Chain A
Amino acid sequence: MTYSSLIFASVILPLSVLFLFFDRSSEYKNLCLCITSFLFVTWGHHLLAGALFVTLIVDYLFALAVEGSLKRDKSRAVTFLILDLLVNAAVLVFIAHNDVFPEESGLLINKMFLPVGAAFYALKNFAYVYDVYSGRCKAERSPFYFITFGMSYPFMLAGPAVRYSEIAPQLRERKLTAALMSRGVKSFALGFIKSVIAVPAFNSIAEAGIYAEHAAGLGSVIGMLAKFSAVWFTFTGMSDMGTGIACMNGFDVPLNYTRLNSKLMLGGAVRCYNTSMIELFKDIRGDSAATPVWTVVLAVCGAAFYSPKPMSLIVGLITGIILAGEYLFAYDRIERIPSPVKAIVTAVIGFFLFSPLAFNDFPEWLFWITGIAVSNENSSETNAAVFELVKNNMLIIIIFLAAVSPIGELVKNAADKLSQRSAGHYTAVKVTEAVLTAAALAISFILLAANTAAV
């Protein structure tokens, strides 16, 4: 089950939120959240998929051990930290990315036993132990609060993989205010709309442009751009929904992404995506002579987080080298470069650098990249199909791409200015926003129901 499942969005989520109102205590809310989280993670999977949460015991004990060791012997604390890293890395590789192993290796696990969200779960728990090590927060003594933090399903699929230091007070006391609930429903609705309307549209163009037998020329370029858009909206959509669910459960948490920008060129673009992981890597990297080396290492680790395939690791290595170069070149010099130049250079670098992630192996990518320049009689037919799809989905493309571009920022600023004129203007702007969101949400439900029934 995912956030954009029909049964989850229309039945399970509303019921789980309604149950929260039966009691005001945080303990009751935490209990409801734990039960819903277990149900969400094991839905459609074997009950043993919930055994993933047994690793919480390991993180809980290691955090206490790290905190205790810091006062006496820092090297022992480092040892415990590394052990916790190995445990969470094992969860990442053997559970989240189990499909990497070949069949004959004997390491393949039946998918019924593999829970969802294991990657972000491992990242979040390691971040907690690291925060205890770095002194950012204290080790949690109460198992119940820690289990709530570890199990919470809003923090598992594409984040927000929050840091424990930000959320610890809210685990003990939080209120379900109108502002938080409003933000929650709106955020969830926006994420749902992205997942149901935008992602399939961009995916269909990507499939036609990249994976068609005779993909070449402009059609393959458009297909790759559509693939990037699909990946962006998938991630941000799930992050929106996760944030919305967290807000509906009383947590005030940030989004796991920021608006796309090329202010720091490739570094700026990379930082927009999965900001929780980027912040953790920045903390680990620090600022020293070894920072460029750490940048490369962590870039490879980041790529492995998404996919441990060789192609992905190579992309991570090259990305790390470029980021290290930007760091050495000094960010203040980069900021002095004109924005249009930065935007174009970042777009071109990013296009070719991340395009291999759309393919399974290097020959496939090579075939695609040579096809950009070479057209044949068959590719024109493929391109025609791509252009037809682009034409059919033009409105969706315009709306969603405008929303993530500076145009969307302008519209948002204009609306904010209008809302500040008077109370009446404020109400009108917010109600209009809510009505438009609700209309798009209703359309999403209808489209999803029609597709679900047709499958």
Chain B
Amino acid sequence: MGRFEDHNNVTDADEINYFLNNAANADDAENAAAAAEEKRLGNISEEDTKAHSDALTIIIIAFVILFFGSVFTTLTNHQDMTEDTDNASARFGKFVEGSYFADIEKKFNTQLPLQDEFHNASILIKYCFGIDNSTDDLIDIESKRLADDPYSISQTNQYIPVNNNTSSEEGDDDGEVTKKTLPEVVTTSNNKNKKISGITLTTVTNENQMFDEEDKPMSVDRNAPPGNHDAGFNPYANSTETQPTETQTPITQPSDQPTETASHTQIYFTDPNRTQPSETEPVQSEPEQSGQIPQNTDPVTTDPPATTKSTNMFIIPAQGR
């Protein structure tokens, strides 16, 4: 018989106490249930937080890896790639020998995009962290681009044909620099072929300028076949300027002043029909060479070479094998 069923023996006080007790237990029960629910929600929240953090970590770090991967693969410089003329059996032979993949890696490493930018960035990073206290090896990318890039031309100028006679035009003073604008030649929508909207041809003339063959300014075409140094008429030429050879006295600039383009003494012509580099093309800019471009007119000083050997970071010790 339950407590409330024995009405003869249950007193009012008992009933009141019973109700109070039950009421307190109910509150505790409700509180306990609420606490349990809150704890369960807290656990869920903790799991969600961890999953959220994990997702953020993946996104942040994977973004860096994928970004660099896509930069290295999509912006690869294809200018110097020659066509693979091997037949299937030769390719299979290379695959078996292992040189197929080795060539892929070699091409990947040598044709990395933005090499100069990466070089400068690495120097600046090392400088910021105090690893190297010198920024002398920075490459002047803009100057290099203007000097090396055969398609580097001003858009406000036009093309005019160039003849063999480099004597000054009528009415010009001897030795003055004359700028001739050239008519527009080629426009294309191809991303790889830049729009040639005009070229500036700067000629430096001298009244005693009667060139012998060997004194002729060097004309170099990056894409010209070997031995073709003809500086004659070229309707597709997009040269920039003529620089005097060593036998001539520079007219436009004092001879004792270093110039930004002092290292470039050739005319660059480009013929779309010519695809092979010239034998006499200037040495491709490399960080250690191009870095000698002075940033000011003060004499360039270089630090003595380090006494330590260079380290190949890819050497793995024996325990790595």
Are B122 and A451 in touch, CB under 8 angstroms? Answer: yes
Are A426 and B68 in touch, CB under 8 angstroms? Answer: no
Are A396 and B131 in touch, CB under 8 angstroms? Answer: yes
A98 vs chain B, min Cβ distance (A): 10
Residues of B within 8 A of A452 (CB): 109, 112
Residues of B within 8 A of A186 (CB): 57, 61
Are A381 and B65 in touch, CB under 8 angstroms? Answer: no
Are A438 and B64 in touch, CB under 8 angstroms? Answer: yes
B28 at the interface (CB under 8 A from A): no
Are A5 and B314 in touch, CB under 8 angstroms? Answer: yes
Chain B 30-68 per-residue mask, 1 if CB under 8 angstroms from chain A, else 0:
000000000000000110011111111110111111101
Chain A 433-444 per-residue mask, 1 if CB under 8 angstroms from chain B, else 0:
111011001110
Bound-state Cα–Cα, A435 to B72, Å? 22
Residues of B within 8 A of A143 (CB): none
Are A204 and B108 in touch, CB under 8 angstroms? Answer: no
The segment from A22-30, A231-239, A343-351 found at the interface with B is A231-239
Are B49 and A396 in touch, CB under 8 angstroms? Answer: no
A17 vs chain B, min Cβ distance (A): 9
CB-CB nearest in chain A for B133: A392
Are A112 and B60 in touch, CB under 8 angstroms? Answer: no
Are B57 and A7 in touch, CB under 8 angstroms? Answer: no
Are B311 and A203 in touch, CB under 8 angstroms? Answer: yes
A4 at the interface (CB under 8 A from B): yes
CB-CB nearest in chain A for B62: A185
Are B61 and A189 in touch, CB under 8 angstroms? Answer: yes
How many residues of A sit at the interface, in one of the four size bands? 35 or more
- Compute the total of residue contacts between A and B using a CB distance below 8 Å: 216
Which of B56, B122, B286, B317 is within 8 Å of A446, CB to CB? Answer: B122
Are A204 and B318 in touch, CB under 8 angstroms? Answer: no
Which of A96, A274, A438, A446 is within 8 Å of B121, CB to CB? Answer: A446
Residues of A within 8 A of B233 (CB): none
A43-B65 contact, Cβ under 8 Å, with A178-B51, A396-B129, A443-B125: no
A110 vs chain B, min Cβ distance (A): 10
Residues of B within 8 A of A55 (CB): none
The segment from A116-124, A132-140, A166-174, A286-294 found at the interface with B is A116-124
CB-CB nearest in chain B for A177: B54
Bound-state Cα–Cα, A274 to B51, Å? 31
CB-CB nearest in chain B for A112: B98
CB-CB nearest in chain A for B52: A427
Are B313 and A392 in touch, CB under 8 angstroms? Answer: no
Which of A11, A182, A201 is within 8 Å of B58, CB to CB? Answer: A182
Are A11 and B98 in touch, CB under 8 angstroms? Answer: no
A355 at the interface (CB under 8 A from B): no
A178-B51, A182-B53, A208-B308 are known; give 8 further A-B pairs, CB within 8 A. Answer: A42-B98, A185-B62, A186-B57, A201-B131, A306-B318, A427-B49, A430-B57, A438-B64
Query: Which B residues have a C-beta under 8 Å from some C-beta of A?
Result: 45-46, 49-58, 60-66, 68-69, 72-73, 95-98, 101-102, 104-105, 108-110, 112, 115, 118-119, 121-123, 125-126, 129-133, 286-287, 306-309, 311, 313-314, 316-321
15 A-B contacts, Cβ less than 8 Å apart?
Answer: A1-B105, A10-B72, A44-B98, A44-B105, A182-B54, A185-B57, A185-B58, A208-B307, A238-B320, A438-B64, A441-B61, A442-B68, A447-B126, A450-B118, A453-B115
